[in-house]
Chains A and B, each alone.
Chain A
């Protein structure tokens, strides 16, 4: 007992006199130091995994105000607000991308700065830096596409409590940002290996990005207007060097012979074109892909859930979020090269078809590879979608999914009856009878297409685009027409439609629209060509009404306006600089971009 008292007194004395607060030193369990990172190839790879994760790859989520996993994890779906699709979500709120891109820029700048201090073989270091600069170029080309000239940061800034104002930087000119993109990519091209694992940059990936970027810069110089002393717009004199750079980079890829157009299913051109976007590992045409895969990456998206036709929608709903317009459908020519306008007659003088698919007969096989239409089959199911039924000259319009027309009662009913015909297949809008096929997983059963279940990879850069970049650069530079014609005809031959014999700007652009439909290139094409305001402001897209003629027992078609009417102004060629950033930077960012 006495001992206890002594101990108690002792404990108390020790306790009250303890001054050592090492008890409070806690260490995080998930934090690596710079030494642990830069000296380990595995950690450097992990560093790159994050840099790549932050790439603003314009995949399934593009134009939903978000970019794929950049910043969010794959929510959303492809949607341009042009004739590509009628479901358009406005990407007006891009403020958060400003901060996210600059955060990514800082990470790559930190890497470049720190790796320089590590004792590594020069070649290894160069390869690291080259890959890092490829990544940085990817970030900056996105920044400049969005906002024009932006502040250029090539080193991580250090914060100093006393003077945070000095952290604010002025915008560089648009051309200066494109020049930075070019110099980073030139370095990458010179120092990257010719091949790399799937999903990672190599020399050709850098060339493909250079081709895409320089074509964009060259177009801005050629078609745009210089404003704010070059903060947006590029002096026309720079058009040629930029286009030449695009031309050279494209040519290097084409001549390199490493890639060839995907032609795995030569006897079924439609299937071949569909599979080009699905069979990506080992694909001869794919230059740069982004992986989505549950088993190996735990990263999934919801493209199928969102875009499936109503007729086979997922048990949890959604569907129909992406429905190509009739205008888009008609951009696909017929196999013989004639214009793609559908032969449907006019109300009162309908052209009758026994089957809804007959109206698309002989269209460009790429149409069947890119678009699902009424009467075609997807995932083994016939896809339905129609406005209603015409009987004795009276139209009976359906209002919901899977309704029927009871011929005896002369009314639309919910369930089939003995003497009924299908009246609808699509609950949303009888005018939307086309759905996206490109990027949909043909194998996954529709009932398993729930949220976060899609694993389709994204094909970001492919030889097909490079050929079109080459054709356009060549044409705009005034090189011999045969060059552009040959590049376009390579694609048309692979597609299975008649070759062109002559070439002009609109033919190149139409080929691009068709070949690259739903690949999110059109969004930027219309901006760099400056045709968004001239061709799409106030424009009303068309939809297609399909009626079953219950007397003739066949189908008739009617063109109909379907949504649209959006106004585009010159200011829409750039986004506005985030207001909070302008207020912090004061005069350095001024009022931001013109027109706002």
Chain B
């Protein structure tokens, strides 16, 4: 990827003088995108003008040692000269630097002398001078670290000059994970970035990304939706996460993650962090064709198993006996007799695993991608076509996900100084799932009593109608029985650019960019009625018959169309120049965005459901709906950066943003930021005293960012009457009502985030050790809230939201890296970890009625994820213990049994009740500490890349069926609950107790919010592992193949978890009552072919 300077001169042609400016400035290249990208792709340019002062050869010592002179030239691997290279006599502080022509001259003492050559972006080089008087040296680029160019706000910058907290993920890391969702491929790759894969359901792209804990998932939202996700910028334009998820990783050049105030340049919503995606560009040269494919399997990692009939019947009887004791219910004989239990155990009686009847443990997936890359001096292109297809884990094949990606990126030089670019991409993702919501179908399946047969009278033509009247899993997951839900989503993104290098002002260029995106989705949900049967005896006719029970009636269909459009116009100028050691850059930009969304939906019911079309429905049951929304933003952006000799770095910028969400008087917000860096490693005293320091930089940033995020609460500044709204029946007709929007907040405005970040980064001993540490804080002010503390309900209006609340998120991140070479083996290891937590600073709440009320129910000053409940102290082991324990059941502990959870009497009043509740943990299923370790090893043609990823300070507490046995009356408990305290004879209340992990079944006191059921979900897993082998080029050249690499990879391969044994530790607990489609590991074989 990296080319040298001389290349650039020829390649850039008309950009020659620009490049020279760049070279002279040695600074961040805040150039027009054309130029940036060219530069970024063609060369990681070393600075030229950073001419270090020759170290003064001080005093007499120097004079004494002076003996002879060695001269020479330093160049890079491509032969381009390197000015400004440091040359030091090893073991001394004497040295010099090369001049503009890369030439140096240095006096050295007689005798064995070793010279050390070092230069930013290149590996240090040591050589013994011996008798030579002329010594030309070639330095190797350090591809990984310092020469790296990263994509930053509206431009690119050499990593060494970056003053913000930015993490990057490279293209090759993205493709390893073989996960179709780009968000998932970021897992563990960058510090401070937390990715949650909510499920592996095909076509769902069920993932969340959160930067530094800046996003929030409402624990009360059963869908677990995230609010305030990061801003996603693809090729310089704001785009949706849905479109980002569905990108083909093969078309991505790099992903940068802006985490601090420097993200402010992107304005609106950037306070949640920015994910900057750059797609690949064409490069000059011969046509290069790459084909990549992998084919593999998705395999369930760990999913709850259900009890078999014997376990079920045993637990059921136990519950009955326990209920008799604890609830003083009527004593009834156990539902299952000893004989029945024996039959279940021996397999003589039916035991059905309804989950296994529909779910298999693996599904296939495959991916293909073809890219064509090439161009001439004037025209370069990158084209990519990709396909990803996957099946689901159900036997019926009802699940399916497919994705097609097409992209064409073209850059052209129209005339001298005038360039044009176009990026056009089309994504189509198609999926199919059952007609009813996945989570509720899983819930149904988990609830089936395993003593029921799958089919009525064991005749597969008749699905069984159980006593519980549950719908049948076989029908639920079958298109033929119950219909389907199909989604077809299309995303078109297009970006067009014109750039012009203004000839009469050195370093000035202007650019116009226009982006037009449209996405379109079509959902068709066809719900079909079907029968389940009960096999009954008719006494009148003395015959058996199948009695039908109708499910999902009436058959119905619902179709929904949605369309979203976005126009984004950006006009900018860019200035870049150097005056001696002063390097200056400036950017001015105007941006306007407008978005329009519209949708409509129609549904109808069928009399005859053979035709799954709206037109076939009964007209009496037609219903339609529609939606429309629009919004706009206008922004002025300015940015200035300055550095002195690449040593002192300063950047300041602002954004002046207007939003259509606010009224005229409060719609504009001014949001400035500032950042600075000090490269200590460029200081003489560091260089001289700490020669092992290859790079050391201290940096900090501070800024105020604005957010207009008031989703669903637009036009809060207007009053009026909303129409239509729900209505009433007058006569025989329905009259649509008027909603009342009769209170407004005319001053509603931006809420702000004040972000502070300090970082220290460096590398020692030529990258044998690299490190990066950051601490950060984000304070948000003016978060929208209801003024509930002062306005009484008798006022009678849905109150408008007011900029009232405040919170704070803070944490730290650490990255440690090591890379080395051992004989033929190159290896690297990089570990990152991050910690973040959010607390409320101010929160509008109703005044407390008492001190206790204040302590228990008010949140100001508290962390936003605290969970209340009882402290626990193990489990009771004997009745003796129970008798002597503080009363915890309100009934003299008579209802408590051995194995039950011991709650702690916090206030010591001898009674355990809600007054003993306290903070017992953190919820939101967000790990406080999140870590990842990347390991790469290469040896000859072999390469291995592994990502270890894990989390700690992480608790989960599941709901519904995962929270206790028999959550629903006769619902089948997961088999893990069989490991429990129980009597040696289940139905004999006096028999001996046998200890187990969980309490005895049916003891209700155990299920209050408490520590016992909050599992420590700390885990470490091999998130991805890839082993590849590249065939020798000599072998391939005969077949005109440039490269061929075969590889095998895996995702979620091995998992080590601490407190959880029945479900995957990443299985989310905070949505859909803990009924999620399983998480999978993926195992693939693939090849990469280029010619």
Contact = CB atoms under 8 A, between A and B. Distances in A.
B1054 to A, nearest CB: 42
A53 B728 contact: yes
A296 B726 CA distance: 13
Contacts of A200: 730-731
Given A28-B718, A37-B738, A401-B467, A169 B794 contact: yes
Interface stretch (A41-49, A232-240, A367-375, A493-501): A41-49
B668 A33 contact: no
Contact of A416 (B512, B536, B550): B536
B732 A49 contact: no
A399 B336 CA distance: 11
Contacts of B623: 298
Interface in B826-865: 846-849
B170 interface: no
Contact of A281 (B664, B732, B733): B732
Contacts of A516: none
A578 to B, nearest CB: 7
B632 A24 contact: yes
A461 B335 CA distance: 48
Nearest to A414: B467
Contacts of B535: 415
A107 interface: yes
B510 A583 contact: no
Contacts of B536: 415-416
B537 A584 contact: no
B725 interface: yes
A582 interface: yes
Nearest to A151: B794
B207 to A, nearest CB: 31
A199 B728 contact: yes
Interface stretch (B118-126, B785-793, B1073-1081): B785-793
Contact of A448 (B554, B571, B743, B798): B554
B896 to A, nearest CB: 23
A331 B469 CA distance: 35
A208 B669 CA distance: 58
What is the interface of chain B mostly: helix, strand, loop, or mixed? strand
A448 B529 CA distance: 11
Interface string B664-682: 1001100000000000000
A569 interface: no
A23 B742 contact: no
B942 interface: no
Given A401-B467, A580-B788, A581-B793, A15 B569 contact: yes
A198 B732 contact: yes
Interface string B158-191: 0000000000000000000000000000000000
B731 A198 contact: yes
B592 interface: yes
Given A415-B536, A580-B846, A49 B735 contact: yes
Interface residues of A, number: 95
A37 B636 CA distance: 40
Contact of B729 (A110, A168, A293, A585): A293
A524 to B, nearest CB: 23
A418 B541 CA distance: 11
A187 B414 CA distance: 82
Nearest to B337: A411
A153 interface: yes
Given A30-B723, A110-B742, A198-B731, A8 B794 contact: no
A313 to B, nearest CB: 7
B966 to A, nearest CB: 15
B469 A8 contact: no
B321 to A, nearest CB: 15
Contacts of A293: 729, 732, 734
A45 B554 contact: no
A36 B720 CA distance: 10
Given A49-B735, A200-B730, A167 B792 contact: yes
A49 B718 contact: no
A28 B730 contact: no
Contact of B498 (A8, A31, A45, A102): A8
B722 A30 contact: yes
B723 A32 contact: yes
Contacts of B594: 23
Interface residues of B, number: 93
B759 to A, nearest CB: 33
Interface string A151-174: 101001101000011011100000
Nearest to A20: B634
Nearest to A164: B790
B728 A16 contact: no
B736 interface: yes
Contacts of A21: 634, 658, 664, 667-668
B668 A31 contact: no
Contacts of B735: 45-46, 48-49
A23 B737 contact: no
Given A31-B721, A169-B794, A291 B729 contact: yes
A105 interface: yes
A11 interface: yes
Contacts of A11: 512, 571
B92 interface: no
A12 interface: yes
A52 B736 CA distance: 11
B573 interface: yes
B1040 interface: no
A290 to B, nearest CB: 8
Contact of A1 (B415, B664, B795): B415
Contacts of B550: 315, 447-448
Nearest to B636: A16
A519 to B, nearest CB: 20
Interface in B510-568: 510, 512, 532, 535-537, 539, 542, 549-551, 553-554
A106 B634 CA distance: 38
B439 interface: no
B223 interface: no
A28 B715 contact: yes
Interface in A255-308: 281, 290-299
Nearest to A411: B337
B793 A399 contact: no
A410 interface: no
A339 interface: no
Interface string B746-785: 0000000000000000000000000000000000000000
A4 interface: yes
Interface in A3-29: 4-5, 8-9, 11-12, 15-16, 18, 21, 23-26, 28-29
A50 interface: yes
A99 B791 contact: no
Interface in B391-437: 414-415, 418
Contact of B791 (A52, A151, A159): A159
Interface in A199-214: 199-200
Contact of B738 (A28, A32, A159, A292): A32
A296 B729 contact: yes
Contacts of A281: 732
Contact of A49 (B590, B736, B797): B736
Interface in A447-477: 447-448, 450
A416 B738 CA distance: 58
27 contacts: A4-B414, A5-B418, A8-B498, A9-B510, A11-B571, A12-B572, A15-B569, A18-B590, A24-B660, A28-B720, A31-B718, A31-B741, A37-B721, A46-B724, A47-B738, A52-B730, A73-B726, A104-B796, A198-B730, A199-B731, A297-B728, A297-B734, A315-B465, A315-B469, A316-B469, A448-B554, A579-B849
The 4 A-B residue pairs whose C-beta atoms are closest, nearest first, are A106-B796, A291-B729, A50-B737, A416-B537
Given A28-B714, A32-B738, A447-B553, 14 more contacts: A1-B415, A12-B573, A49-B727, A50-B725, A103-B793, A109-B796, A198-B729, A198-B732, A200-B731, A293-B729, A296-B734, A299-B734, A447-B549, A448-B554
